[in-house]
Structure 1
Amino acid sequence: MSSPTEKKTDVPARHRGPVQLRRGLAEGTTADQHLLDTRSPADFTSTDPWRVLRIQAEFVEGFGALADVGPAVSVFGSARTKPGSAYYETGVEVGRLLAEAGFAVITGGGPGSMDAANKGAVEGKGLSVGLGIELPFEQGMNQWVDLGVNFRYFFARKTMFVKYAQGFIVLPGGYGTLDELFEAMVLVQTHKVTSFPIVLIGTAFWGPLVAWLKDTLVADGLVSPKDLDIISVVDTAEEAVSKVVGAIRSGEPGTDSSGTEPGTTAP
């Protein structure tokens, strides 16, 4: 029998903007679902104009909270990465090295690789930032976040990842990680952002994706060969941080101070 002071970890919970809901109140749809699933003209005239104000407020809140973050790098990776695993420990090292180099670390604020990078930032005595998102069920901000902002809408949150970071480091992950990675690649490809290095950690994990980009997209003429230069693939936290920091300080996306060419695997 559990004691009254034991904390239950399996209670359904989620955020709705700044509000945290648990148990029965945690069930139901999210703000993104309301926005994207609405089809009725009547719903548009009665609710969507008001929703615009909520979206505006979310941007204002995010801009206000993050305005003084300073130089920062966003770190992405799976929420399912297990503590103690090789990828988790790499995430901790990434966060620590970025903090020691003078950069704030921005993650999605959740568990797994996000927890790891935020933990490393704290250990490196840097600023640890978490940008949470409203989901049907979630675990809330991890314990290593110093500055946390919860968002209702993915698009508002993703804007903050790019606006307040000068580069991305991407650990292995699932759909969410791929979404963030490819959005960043599109922004660089279309020159919506400049001098923005994107470094992937794990050649065994990312190698097949890079090969597909080259052998299918480039081969079919759907992207140009130089578009592969947008990303770099390495195997260690030290290589990733060196490449990102070097690119930021030199002003060249994807190229570090040692001259390693983008789109290639470090030796």
Structure 2
Amino acid sequence: MSDQNGVDEHPREKQRGPVVLRRGRRDELTTTDQRLLDSRGPTDWVHTDPWRVLRIQAEFVEGFGALAEVPSAVTVFGSARTGRDHPEYETGRKLGGALAEAGFAVITGGGPGAMEAVNRGCSEAGGFSVGLGIELPFEQGLNPWVDLGVNFRYFFVRKTMFIKYSQAFICLPGGFGTLDELFEALTLVQTKKVTKFPVVLFGKSYWQGLYDWVKDSVMAGGKVGDKDLGLLHLTDDIDDAVRVVQEAHQAWADSH
């Protein structure tokens, strides 16, 4: 949108950690994670990587400081590609509202699609709606229903925040990012790095195939046990998902 002098009042922007880039500055195609992890190229990384530790440390400090006062929360993952007219969007909206009414804050990746739907439902219900964004090579700012937003450069810092400040994970239908977070959470629970931490797969028609594969191939092959499969709760019912979260949170509270 431009004013009468042709000045763009709301230019498109890209976020790099806490930094906002607009207009020509948006054209940088690489990300901080890529520059850290891509070992190809000259050996000047030997001289620059030690200094990156300070930036990584700063992201942890910023995240811990921003999220320390967040009440009991549930992280909800889902596809950024879910359209607002898709039934899964309305499901996410209702789920966010139900979690807020149950007294939980919600944490998402802060982006569009299913993440936006959950943040929106939570915010509309008067809950605490949190978004943890990430620097990407394409534009994706925080959605407008995020009450508290933190933008990260590094995926591993962001993942720490998801785990540290959540009492449960709920996975709506999603892609590689959702699957990544799902299996990382399962690994942390399986190895007892986190306890009393339910993982809910919401949407039986979407997740049933994955669940069956884990049961019929992974577990049948002896790669995981019965207890490991029991870490997953598959449901289509919002009240059931909230119940699982509440019971796990109460069990955690009783143990402390």
TM-score by length of 1: 0.88
1:99 aligns with 2:115: no
Deviates more, 1:16-25 or 1:86-95: 16-25
Q: Are the counterparts in 2 of residues 99 and 121 from structure 1 also a CA contact under 8 Å?
A: yes
Uncovered stretches (5+) of structure 1, i.e. residues with no partner: 253-267
Post-superposition offset of 1:165: 0.4
Matches within 5 A, 1:116-131: 116-131=117-132
Post-superposition offset of 1:86: 1.3
Instruction: Indicate how the Cα distance of structure 1 residues 173 and 13 shifts in structure 2: closer, same or farther if over 3 A, else same.
Output: same
What is the CA deviation profile of residues 28-47 of structure 1, one whole-angstrom value per residue up to 9, with x for unaligned ones?
A: 21000000003467323211
Q: Give 1:117's aligned amino acid.
A: V
Post-superposition offset of 1:55: 0.3
> Matches of 1:78 and 1:46 in 2, distance apart?
38
> Matches of 1:56 and 1:3 in 2, distance apart?
40
Deviates more, 1:31-40 or 1:227-236: 31-40
> Matches of 2:213 and 2:70 in 1, distance apart?
37
TM-score by length of 2: 0.92
Instruction: Indicate how the Cα distance of structure 1 residues 7 and 218 shifts in structure 2: closer, same or farther if over 3 A, else same.
Output: farther
> Matches of 1:244 and 1:86 in 2, distance apart?
23
> Matches of 1:214 and 1:234 in 2, distance apart?
16
Q: SS where residue 126 of structure 2 aligns?
A: coil
Uncovered stretches (5+) of structure 2, i.e. residues with no partner: none
Q: SS where residue 110 of structure 1 aligns?
A: coil
> Matches of 1:237 and 1:34 in 2, distance apart?
41
Moved over 6 A (4+): 5-8
Post-superposition offset of 1:226: 1.6
Q: Give 2:195's aligned amino acid.
A: T
1:241 aligns with 2:233: no
Deviates more, 1:222-231 or 1:127-136: 222-231
> Matches of 2:232 and 2:98 in 1, distance apart?
20
> Matches of 2:242 and 2:90 in 1, distance apart?
14
Q: Are the counterparts in 2 of residues 26 and 137 from structure 1 also a CA contact under 8 Å?
A: no
Deviates more, 1:20-29 or 1:231-240: 20-29
- The match for 2:226 is 225
Number of equivalences: 250
Post-superposition offset of 1:17: 1.3
Post-superposition offset of 1:201: 0.6
1:79 aligns with 2:98: no
Matches within 5 A, 1:102-113: 102-113=103-114
Post-superposition offset of 1:7: 11
Post-superposition offset of 1:90: 0.9
* Percent of aligned pairs with the same amino acid: 61
Post-superposition offset of 1:251: 3.4
Q: Are the counterparts in 2 of residues 77 and 170 from structure 1 also a CA contact under 8 Å?
A: yes
Matches within 5 A, 1:246-257: 246-251=247-252
- The match for 1:20 is 20
> Matches of 1:117 and 1:7 in 2, distance apart?
34
RMSD of aligned alpha carbons? 2.2
> Matches of 1:74 and 1:142 in 2, distance apart?
16
What is the CA deviation profile of residues 53-96 of structure 1, one whole-angstrom value per residue up to 9, with x for unaligned ones?
A: 00000000000000000211001000001113211111111111
- The match for 2:30 is 29
Q: Are the counterparts in 2 of residues 12 and 137 from structure 1 also a CA contact under 8 Å?
A: no
> Matches of 1:237 and 1:138 in 2, distance apart?
31
Matches within 5 A, 1:188-199: 188-199=189-200
Q: Give 1:149's aligned amino acid.
A: V
Post-superposition offset of 1:4: 4.5
What is the CA deviation profile of residues 113-147 of structure 1, one whole-angstrom value per residue up to 9, with x for unaligned ones?
A: 11011011111111100000000112301000000
> Matches of 1:82 and 1:237 in 2, distance apart?
20
Instruction: Indicate how the Cα distance of structure 1 residues 182 and 7 shifts in structure 2: closer, same or farther if over 3 A, else same.
Output: farther
Q: SS where residue 251 of structure 1 aligns?
A: helix
Q: Give 1:21's aligned amino acid.
A: L
